[in-house]
Amino acid sequence: MKITNLFFLLGLLLLASCKKDDTNPSGTTTLQYDNGNVSGPQLDAGEHELAVRFPASTLADLVGKKLTEVQVFVGELPQSCIVKIYKQGNSSTPGAQILQSDVLNSIEFPKWNNFKITPGIEITGEDLWVSVYIELAGKQQSIGCDSGPRKTNGDWLFSGSDHAWKTYQERTGESINWNIRAVVE
């Protein structure tokens, strides 16, 4: 009985770690892990993909709605910038890519950028990974982050140097969440 209660409590904590902002009067829901922009990590030259994962449990009450916008804070302009959306994979790797949109020419910095997803991606009850792929010519701060503490699924980072998905905390020991948000309506 006690182990069952422990699993129930763990499930509730995981659900609570993703913040839903349901207060928007336009009927949209913003999914996010961050608490606003504070800074951005200095990433080495090369290819990086920064991502947040929204588990099916977080999306359950949004099934049938559509992901219509990705919001990202960009501090410095990268050489390349592509918004990507992936279907469910597993808890540490995204599944099939369902969207790729080059947004480099529409970026304003340093500020929040809103990238429309047309016609929208239907929420089906599976995990969604929302990512920003960047290429950097030198060490640079590009995509913003908050000051933490890290929330589960808020700091995924794929590095071109080792071709692996790991959390930013696993890579650096730092506790942050990316400034990457998903708007659902």
Q: What is the pTM of this model?
A: 0.87
Least reliable range by pLDDT among 13-27, 52-66, 97-111: 13-27
Structure confidence by residue, pLDDT tens digits, 108-149: 999 999 999 999 999 999 999 999 999 999 999 999 999 999
Q: CA-CA distance, 29 to 51, in Å (whole number)? A: 19
Assign residue 54 the CATH number of its domain: 2.60.120
3-state secondary structure of 5: helix
pLDDT of residue 12: 35
Structure confidence by residue, pLDDT tens digits, 157-184: 999 999 999 999 999 999 999 999 999 9
Q: CA-CA distance, 92 to 170, in Å (whole number)? A: 12
pLDDT of residue 24: 56
When divided into structural domains, the chain yields a total of: 1
pLDDT of residue 18: 54
Domain span at 170: 2-184
pLDDT of residue 26: 74
Mean pLDDT of 57-76: 97
Least reliable range by pLDDT among 19-28, 97-106, 163-172: 19-28
Measured CA to CA in angstroms, residue 183 lies from 26, 43, 45, 54, 78 at distances of 11, 26, 30, 12, 23
